């Protein structure tokens, strides 16, 4: 049986250059990876990129940085959505009115961008403090209380 050659397709082998290209594209476009693949069909599929993130910590770190940059783009472009997406019409009296469904869609787009930005860069755009931040504060307070307790114990032992 003859060995068939593998058909040429999307890349599956990680290279630093390809990883850097992917991170650059993610960091400079407000869209997710799937639309990027449609624009750049030579990119590997999303599952391959997820596998690379698990296998190559340096790529994962660059990719997470790129996603934080992407969050900034999402927020910066919110103002750009406003004038173009709201449709208007003339009512019976000739007054210009805002089309309610298009306004609702715009609100949904803006809320989606805000939600995505809060998930991609929670420290910058998130509403709540992160659990890690609170744990760090709790540990600092616990240590301070232990130090005060030790000082009080030492002071009380000297007085008796």
Domain ranges of the chain: 11-73
Per-residue pLDDT of 48-105, as tens digits, reads 999 999 999 999 999 999 998 998 888 888 877 776 667 888 889 999 888 888 888 8
In the predicted structure, residue 28 carries a pLDDT above the cut 50: yes
CA distances from 65 to 3, 19, 84, 107 (A): 43, 13, 30, 28
Query: How far apart (Å, rounded) are the C-alpha atoms in residues 125 and 114?
Result: 8
* CB count in 10 Å sphere of residue 44: 19
**DSSP-derived secondary structure for the chain:** -PPPPPPP-S--S--HHHHHHHHHHHHH-SS-HHHHHHH-TTSPPHHHHHHHHHH-HHHHHHHHHHHHHHHHHHHHTHHHHHHHH--EEE-TTS-EEE-HHHHHHHHHHHHHHHHHHHHHSHHHH-SS--HHHHHHHHHHHHHHHHHHHHHHHHHHHHH-
Query: How far apart (Å, rounded) are the C-alpha atoms in residues 125 and 53?
Result: 24
* pTM (two decimals): 0.59
Per-residue pLDDT of 90-129, as tens digits, reads 889 999 888 888 888 888 888 888 888 888 877 777 776 5
Burial class (CB in 10 A: 0-12, 13-18, 19+), 59: buried
Q: Among candidates 4, 61, 71, 59, which has minimal Cα distance to 31?
A: 71
């Amino acid at each position: 049986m003859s060995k068939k050659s593998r058909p040429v397709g999307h890349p599956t082998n990680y290279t630093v250059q390809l990883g850097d290209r992917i991170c650059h594209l993610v960091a400079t476009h407000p869209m997710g990876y799937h639309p990027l693949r449609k624009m750049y069909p030579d990119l590997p599929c999303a599952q391959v990129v997820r596998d690379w993130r698990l296998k190559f910590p340096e790529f994962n770190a660059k990719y997470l940085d790129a996603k934080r940059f992407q969050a900034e783009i999402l927020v910066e472009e919110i103002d750009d959505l406003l004038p173009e997406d709201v449709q208007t019409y003339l009512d019976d009296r000739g007054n210009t009115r805002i089309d309610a469904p298009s306004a609702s869609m715009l609100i949904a787009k803006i809320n989606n961008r805000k939600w995505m930005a809060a998930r991609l860069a929670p420290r910058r755009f998130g509403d709540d403090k992160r659990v890690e931040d609170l744990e760090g504060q709790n540990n600092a307070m616990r240590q301070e209380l232990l130090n005060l307790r030790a000082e009080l114990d030492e002071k009380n032992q000297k007085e008796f």
